[in-house]
Structure 1
Amino acid sequence: MEERWISLFLDAQAADVGAARNTLLAYGRDLKDFLSWLERRGGSFATADRAAVEDYLIFCDAQGLSKATRARRLVSIRQFYRFLHDEGLREDNPAIRLKGPGTDKRLPGTLSIDEVDRLLDSARDRGRGDTLQVRNRCLLELLYATGMRVSELVGLPIAAARGDPQMLLVRGKGGKERLVPLSPPAREALIAWLERRDADEAEADSKFLFPGRGATGHLTREYFFRLIQQIAADAGIAPSRVTPHTLRHAFATHLLAGGADLRAIQLMLGHADIGTVEIYTHVLDEQLKNLVLNHHPLAKD
């Protein structure tokens, strides 16, 4: 019964809420871990009360799990018990008023404009042969120009790129669609890649802009992560500082520094809550503080 409840919950999240695959996987892992903990103590989803949920969170803390992980697990449990209550499978919701541990407020890592330029220059030379170099340049130009998530980038359908578009239609988390504008360099890189891609018989029939040989039919996130690390090393930038998400942060930070409106950045990033975007204002504050401390003549210790 317990496993069946998890399956019913995940099916409902996929059908009614349109939860993304990664979100469903996270829910499933969290709930199975909670169930395993309950069963070791002779409990179950049906019998767990508020004290059991609180004890589980204390257990997670003792295991050394981060605040972010513990907060996510509580969200999974809350959503799960809300579903059970709504469906009449539980008469009460033992997690309804529990407060999470919060999350550590860490500023996202980002890159300077000069470092992004070096990455883009390096991408033009990374890859065996001209075709891969053109593709790699297109990947990075699109990522920096749009702030897309890496899963959105590698999974772009070819139909979205046809006709020399000035904007791309991106399908994000939960199947939500948004339009993101393309900069002139990104459009130029896209046109160049389409010419190479369409000339390759093995890739011309693919429904994806960036075909791959794996089960998904497109480049994987893991492949692109390794690629961008190599490009960073070629550009003389520590690979530990550069991930696909770093370029998404750079996109938002550089737009904000250039005077863009927070609401516009929120729409382009595909965030539901503007509070998520406001962290980039703190990134700029930190950069300005470091600028003064490192370069002001009276700031020397």
Structure 2
Amino acid sequence: MNTEDTLTYWTACMKAADLTDKTIRERLIFIRQLARGVDDLYTVTRRELIMWTAEQNWSNSTRVHRRSGLHTFFAWMQDEQLRLDNPAYRLPRVATRKREPNPFTIDEINQLLQGGIYFRTRVMVALHYYLGLRVSEIAAVNGATDIDWAARTLSTIGKGRKPATLPVPAAVWPLFLKMPRDGYWFPNRTANKLFAAGEGHIMGNSVSGLIGEACKRAGIKHRPHDLRASLATEMHDAGVSDFVVQRGMRHSNMDTTTLYLKLRPEGIRHGFEALPALALPDRSGRKRAQPLAA
């Protein structure tokens, strides 16, 4: 069985496991990248995998993800008796570095919106910030199937194929009224991995690219995804309960939400100032020991 036959079979196994198309596509891209960088997927050794991964210019989070991906693929090969061993077993553990949340400030978002970006890009920014949609969810918005125009809600499919229906804030509803009530809001003019030209919607990376380029032109040093951090941070600073913030972000647990929520110094100061006051004496009240008589 050659590499393409192996990947065709692996694709079938992933589809049988009901993995999402996005997950399957990303895994295949990664393993094909690996296949181009090593001699043979059937004979590559642990040492060769270590040398190959060390050469890649990956971020810390990507390195963590790729290490897991290598183990998953070679464990599958071993289970299918395509290899006797798993060369990815016990690859060096990646020292994870927690990335501090980096939300846009409101001034930066306004600067971005007023920086000459086109109307549909402004809508993308609004969907990112006001509803916390991810770029892949923004790309797929359909006026006919996703928007309840009477109830003012937007339905989407999030990570893990989790459906969600989100209330549309009043501040952004006027933008919705200017968007099509039928069809995709962001149709693809050129062919992509999902649709032929003009037959579907753009990809999430196109949304990220458009907002990212707008940020560069405006001199704003943020990733588009940081708009989700702005949503979490601004809701928290406005006194919204952490539970509501978590639900608004559509996170399964609060630990994930804290990766987006930035506690600003003034918020921490407010917390310190809320502590009950203590009676701090000016002196200890202890008597000094008398010197011993000669």
What TM-score do you get using the length of structure 2 for normalisation?
Answer: 0.71
Structure 2's unaligned 5+ residue stretches are 270-294
Q: Deviations 1:19-60 (Å, cap 9, x if unpaired)?
A: 342x33432233234334442xxxx44445xxx225422442
Counterpart check, 1:35 vs 2:18: no
Structure 1 residues 109 and 54, CA, compared in 2 at 3 Å: closer, same or farther? farther
- How do 1:82-231 and structure 2 match up within 5 A? 82-90=75-83, 92-98=85-91, 100-120=93-113, 122=114, 126-127=117-118, 133=119, 135-158=120-143, 159-191=145-177, 193-194=178-179, 197=180, 207-215=183-191, 216=195, 217-221=200-204, 224-225=207-208, 227-228=210-211
Tell whether the 8 Å contact from 2:246 to 2:254 is kept in structure 1 after alignment. Answer: yes
CA distance in 1, matches of 2:172, 2:229: 18
- Gap change, CA 1:173 and 1:7, over 3 Å in 2: farther
2:124 and 2:97 mapped to 1: Cα distance?
Answer: 31
SS at match of 1:95: coil
Q: Percent identity?
A: 25
Q: CA deviation at 1:109?
A: 2.6
Is residue 2:57 matched to residue 1:80?
no
Q: Which residue does the alignment assign to 2:227?
A: 247
Q: CA shift at 1:274, angstroms? A: 4.2
Give the conservation status (yes or no) of the 8 Å contact 1:171–1:178: yes
CA distance, structure 2, for counterparts of residue 170 and residue 63 of structure 1: 35
SS of the equivalent of 2:154 reads strand
Count of matched residue positions in the alignment of Structure 1 and Structure 2 = 260
Question: In structure 2, do the counterparts of structure 1 residues 37 and 272 end up closer, same or farther at CA, with 3 Å as the change threshold?
Answer: farther
Measure the CA separation in 1 of the matches of 2:205 and 2:65: 23
Q: In 2, Cα distance between the equivalents of 1:225 and 1:46?
A: 36
Whichever structure has more helix as a proportion of its residues is 1
Contact 1:145 1:186 in 2 (8 A): yes
Provide closer, same or farther for how the CA distance between residues 14 and 142 of structure 1 changes in structure 2, counting only shifts above 3 A.
same
> What secondary structure is seen at the aligned counterpart in 1 of 2:201?
coil
Q: CA deviation at 1:251?
A: 1.3
Q: 2-side partners of 1:276 and 1:115: how far apart?
A: 24
SS in 2 for 1:179: strand
Over aligned residues, Cα RMSD in angstroms? Answer: 3.4
2:92 and 2:228 mapped to 1: Cα distance? 30
Range 221-230 or range 272-281, more displaced: 221-230
Q: Which of 97-106 and 221-230 deviates more? A: 221-230
Superposition TM-score, scaled by structure 1 size: 0.70
In the TM superposition, what is the alpha-carbon distance from 1:146 to its structure 2 partner?
0.9
- Which structure 1 segments of 5+ residues have no match? 128-132, 199-203, 293-301
